[in-house]
Amino acid sequence: MKATLPTPHLRSFPSPTPLSFKLSFAFPETRRKSLSISSTPKGTPSPSLAYVPLRVTASSQAASAPTVNLTAIPTEMKAWVYGEYGGVDVLKLDEKVSVPEVKEDEVLIKVAAAALNPVDAKRRQGKFKATDSPLPTVPGYDVAGVVVKVGSQVKELKEGDEVYGNINEKALEGPRQFGSLAQYTTVEEKLLALKPKNLDFAQAAGLPLAIETAYEGLERTGFSSGKSILVLNGSGGVGSLVIQLAKQVFGASKVAATSSTGKLELLKSLGVDLAIDYTKENFEDLPEKFDVVFDAIGQCDRAVKAVKEGGSVVALTGAVTPPGFRFVVTSKGEVLKKLNLYLESGKVKPVVDPRGPFPFTQVDEAFSYIETNRATGKVVIHPIP
Contact (Cβ atoms closer than 8 angstroms) between residue 210 and residue 201? no
The fold of 76-195+352-381 is: Quinone Oxidoreductase; Chain A, domain 1 (3.90.180)
> Nearest-CA neighbor of 233 among 199, 258, 213?
258
| Residue type at 307 in one-letter notation | V
| Strand-pair partners of 184 | 110
> CA 256, CA 15: separation in Å to the nearest integer?
27
- pLDDT given at position 171: 94
121: three-class secondary structure by DSSP: helix
Residue 7 falls in which region: left (phi positive, over 0), alpha (psi -120 to 50) or beta: beta
Q: Is the dihedral of CA 254, 257, 263, 264 positive or negative?
A: positive
Query: 3-state DSSP call for residue 317?
Result: coil
Q: What is the pLDDT of residue 66?
A: 66
- Measured between alpha carbons, how far is 353 from 117 in angstroms, rounded to an integer? 12
Strand segments (E) across the chain: 20-26, 32-38, 76-81, 92-98, 106-116, 142-150, 162-166, 184-188, 192-194, 228-232, 254-259, 274-277, 290-295, 307-315, 324-326, 379-381
pLDDT of residue 59: 39
Residue 70's pLDDT is: 65
Cα–Cα distance for residue pair 324/281, rounded to 1 Å: 22
Q: What is the pTM for the complete model shown?
A: 0.84
**What is the pLDDT at residue 7?**
39
Pairing of strands 290-295, 307-315: parallel
CATH topology of domain 213-315: Rossmann fold (3.40.50)
Q: What is the pLDDT along the chain (385 residues), one digit of tens a residue?
A: 444 444 333 333 333 333 333 222 232 333 333 333 333 333 333 333 333 334 455 433 345 566 666 668 999 999 999 999 999 999 999 999 999 999 999 999 999 999 999 999 999 999 999 999 999 999 999 999 999 999 999 999 999 999 999 999 999 999 999 999 999 999 999 999 999 999 999 999 999 999 999 999 999 999 999 999 999 999 999 999 999 999 999 999 999 999 999 999 999 999 999 999 999 999 999 999 999 999 999 999 999 999 999 999 999 999 999 999 999 999 999 999 999 999 999 999 999 999 999 999 999 999 999 999 999 999 999 999 9
Q: Where are the domains of the chain?
A: 76-195+352-381, 213-315
The pLDDT, as a whole number, for residue 10 is 35
- The per-residue pLDDT for 233 is 98
pLDDT, position 15? 36
Confidence (pLDDT) at 183: 98
